[in-house]
Amino acid sequence: MSNQIYNLADTSDDGNIPAGVYLAELRRVKEAISRADNKMWAWTWRIENGDYDGEYVHSYTVFLDSQLWFLKHHLEAFGCRGEVDIDTDDFIGRCACVIVEVKEITDKDTNEQVEVPFVVEVYPADKYEQLIRQQRKPKEK
């Protein structure tokens, strides 16, 4: 099992955001260090639609070769391609389509198991309608 870093103070108290596809505004990107002592960016997203409008979710892009694909997806969601020299502040206030899953983690303060929603994929905002349609399609047997 891998470790994840979460700031539970930035997570809503009800923690009831279900897995799904959401339109979200990027509110903050900050440098952080993972529990495994790796540099990363912690991304804070505000859900901008539906029943969970105003709730916050997070994603974490760790600077390891095996994890750079996730950073690439974040940057591509904002139109970056090829070699880039970016300032993440340029993305603040912009929207993207995020895929949220709920995962059980151990709260580092209480040592209790808690369910936390987190972003597992990021797409350009214009992909939202397409992903919603795909999500609603009945699965073929």
Looking at the domain assignment, is residue 25 inside a domain?
Answer: yes
Looking at the domain assignment, is residue 3 inside a domain?
Answer: no
Which range among 65-69, 77-81, 83-87, 93-97 shows the weakest confidence by mean pLDDT? 83-87
Contact predicate 58/42, CB 8 Å? yes
The predicted pLDDT at position 59 comes to: 96
The predicted pLDDT at position 131 comes to: 85
Looking at the domain assignment, is residue 74 inside a domain?
Answer: yes
DSSP collapsed to 3 states, the chain: CCCCCCCHHHCCCCCCCCCEEEEEEEEEEEEEECCCCCEEEEEEEEECCHHHCCCEEEEEEECCHHHHHHHHHHHHHCCCCCCCCCCHHHHCCCEEEEEEEEEEEECCCCCCEEEEEEEEEEEEHHHHHHHHHHHHCCCCC
- What is the extent of the structural domain holding 111? 8-136
pLDDT 10s digits, 13-46? 445 799 999 999 999 999 999 989 999 999 999 9
The CATH code of the domain that includes 57 is: 2.40.50.140
pLDDT 10s digits, 60-69? 999 999 999 9
Looking at the domain assignment, is residue 124 inside a domain?
Answer: yes
Could you give the number of structural domains in the chain?
Answer: 1
The predicted pLDDT at position 22 comes to: 96
pLDDT 10s digits, 88-132? 999 999 999 999 999 998 888 899 999 999 999 999 999 988 888
Looking at the domain assignment, is residue 2 inside a domain?
Answer: no
Looking at the domain assignment, is residue 79 inside a domain?
Answer: yes
Whole-model pTM: value is 0.81
- For the CA atoms of 23, 47, 45, 99, the dihedral, rounded to the nearest 10 degrees, stands at -50
